[in-house]
A and B are shown apart, each in its own frame.
Chain A
Amino acid sequence: MTSKFRRAGSAVAIVAALGLALSACGGGSDSGSDGEGGGDTSSITFIPKNLGNPYFDASDTGGQKAAEEIGTTWKQVGPTESTPDSQVSFINTATQQRAGALVVSANDPTAIGDALEEARNAGTKVVTMDSDTEPQFRDVFVSQADAAGIAKSQVDLIAEQIGDAGEIAILSAAANATNQNEWIKLMEEELAANHPDIKLVDTVYGNDDDQTSFDKTAGLLQSHPNLKGIISPTTVGVAAAARYLSDSEYKGKVALTGLGTPNQMREYIKDGTVKSFALWDPEQLGYLSAYAADALASGDIEGKEGDTFEAGDLGEYTVGADGVIVLGEPTVFDESNIDDFDF
């Protein structure tokens, strides 16, 4: 609480200083003072893809909970747009602060690599979460579930809802999002191998923006009149698509599934727009990432294959090949269980 006040205080002070100097049209300049550098070497900083995304709000909750259990400082900062260059500034800031560990969900697998290297050279441990960078840029990657498992669960859900035949489309996030593109590729393979009667006719990108996703859904339904189902493997996209469907003539006729949070999707499950969707628990993902970050920062693990660490309530985890730690299988939510979850 006090730190929040202090932050707000210095923000106000900066604005006040600006106002003063502007109205004075000049003003003297003090000689520069040298503040002491330093940082909290056990602190954990979360950098999500972008702010205002319910998925990352949930993973933040988990990360914060873990940090409280561990007894370390936790903070979350990030860009408003999910672009790699805006993420780089926040990574650089953590480097300057000599943060103990950084938990990043990467907006690009390589573009933020140099900034992460710079952070690691300064002694900060790097954990990627949810969306990975290339392995050489981070210590470990905490994966929500293995990509093939996600792709299969998405395809199975839509196949079940449309009777395993007909045209489907995908509403994705940003065109360069690492995880989305991998899932889409695996979904295509899964469709070709096990669901020959389902035809993927289009993939559109809503950029994880509510309005764009909403408009792209409308566009999909217009340009593909025979569309029977939509898969949106992104929380922003699936909620926007559900909102569009629930108020349109396609409600109940075009199936929708994807990766969504129970709180966002509850009303669409209740009103029959959506039958079922899946997600791992992002709160657990953040929780596990914070424990992994702390294990690295305190030197308990190095991020090598076979390293094990305790992750609080979740129990013991083992670092797999390429420094990947897998959270577990995704959960399917439908009318029967959705009220058991609150995130």
Chain B
Amino acid sequence: MTLLSEKAAPRTYAAHARPWWQRTLMTRDTAIIALLVVVWTYASIAILNFSDPITVYFLVLDIAPILLIALPMTLIIITGEIDLSVASVVGLSSVLFGVLHREGLPMVAAMVLALLACAVAGALNGVLVTRYGLPSLAVTIGTMALFRGIAVGALGTTAITDWPDSWQDLVQARIGDSQIPLMTIPLVVLILIFAVVLHFTPFGRGIFAAGLSKDAARFSGVNVDRTKLILFTLSGLVSGLAGIYFTLRYGSARGDNATGMELQVIAAVLLGGVSIFGGRGAIPGVIAGVVLIGTIGSALRLDGLSANLIQIITGLLLIAAVIAASVLGWTGRIVGTYRRQHSSDEPSSKNSKKSE
């Protein structure tokens, strides 16, 4: 044992060629966070009323459902799949919650049942993708229409609007005298849970492995199908939670709640540096991506711009981010090739072979 380890030169990895602080700081996550800081600073200086603390209050309440759904969406996209049905699950959750409440169930019971149904809806996506090997894009386009149809069908043309004030006030409550919504606390807890699961557990490493190569992941002992099934179920559950939030915040259970939100979520996730091809991404970047899109919308609205211009600017930004990411990847590869050619005296593979 000792002999072997003495002989073995330290293994080198391309990704570990730079010192730790460079590896931590020079990432896409840092770029997007820095961008957020730049935009926020600029808006605080240049846009009247932006620096008012109430901006934070409205911003958090506005982005909360997108942020919630972005968490499981990040994990799903890292495995190389996608879930387009999330916004329809929000609608489904809202309607189920509303109907159960109208039928006289206590709030908590209505909530739990609606969440369970949404978890089942998510699991349905998962089963279709994993058991039957269908592409998630096609499956979730189908269930997107299916769940929305059920939601709109169940309530028809009506909306359920008689919600207890105490619950609505809870959703919109502030922490003490600050302008920070109480909802920030559960949000932060969920973000931490997802960050730990993705970045610090074997399950999380399995998610990355599944996205990089399904077969390699399987051979290294990752149960890819089980991982994906869990993630789709989780996506349904969290989207259901977003639906409950949405219903209480606007005091209105409607079948068409959150229509089109799936695109906002996916846009934020991609802006946050997650690769649409799977295998790459991190929670901090995604959080920054969601907050960035929300901040730009908030700043432009305060500046008096209307929704169509805000959409154009958000769209351009997304394209710019995707282009920047691929340009960075391209230059990174060139630099990597150059480095390998000029330090060929100690290639890592030869060293590792010697040690075997």
Contact = CB atoms under 8 A, between A and B. Distances in A.
Given A80-B311, A81-B260, A15 B317 contact: yes
B148 to A, nearest CB: 13
Nearest to A122: B54
A135 to B, nearest CB: 14
Interface residues of A, number: 62
A145 interface: no
A130 B55 CA distance: 29
Interface stretch (B26-34, B71-79, B205-213, B234-242): B26-34
A17 B303 contact: no
Given A13-B46, A97-B49, A181 B157 contact: yes
Interface in A21-54: 21-23, 25-39, 51-52
A318 B251 CA distance: 32
B34 to A, nearest CB: 5
A62 to B, nearest CB: 19
A86 interface: yes
B192 interface: no
B38 A38 contact: no
B250 A85 contact: yes
B225 interface: no
A18 B300 contact: no
Interface string A72-107: 000111111101111011101101111000000000
Interface stretch (A108-116, A243-251, A275-283): A108-116
A26 to B, nearest CB: 5
B258 interface: yes
Interface string B13-55: 0000000000001100011001101111111111111111011
Contact of B44 (A22, A33, A78, A80): A33
A20 B47 CA distance: 19
B307 A11 contact: no
A25 B45 CA distance: 23
Interface residues of B, number: 66
B302 to A, nearest CB: 6
Contact of A29 (B38, B298, B328): B38
Contact of B252 (A14, A30, A77, A111): A111
Contact of A22 (B31, B46, B252): B31
Interface of A: 3, 7, 10-11, 13-15, 17-23, 25-39, 51-52, 75-81, 83-86, 88-90, 92-93, 95-98, 108-114, 175-176, 181, 205
Interface of B: 25-26, 30-31, 34-35, 37-52, 54-55, 58, 62, 156-159, 161, 168, 172, 246, 249-252, 254, 256-260, 296-309, 311, 313, 316-317, 320-321, 324, 328
28 contacts: A14-B313, A22-B320, A23-B324, A26-B25, A29-B37, A30-B41, A32-B51, A34-B44, A35-B44, A35-B47, A38-B48, A39-B48, A81-B260, A84-B252, A85-B257, A86-B307, A88-B250, A89-B297, A89-B298, A93-B58, A95-B58, A110-B251, A111-B251, A114-B168, A114-B249, A114-B250, A176-B157, A205-B157
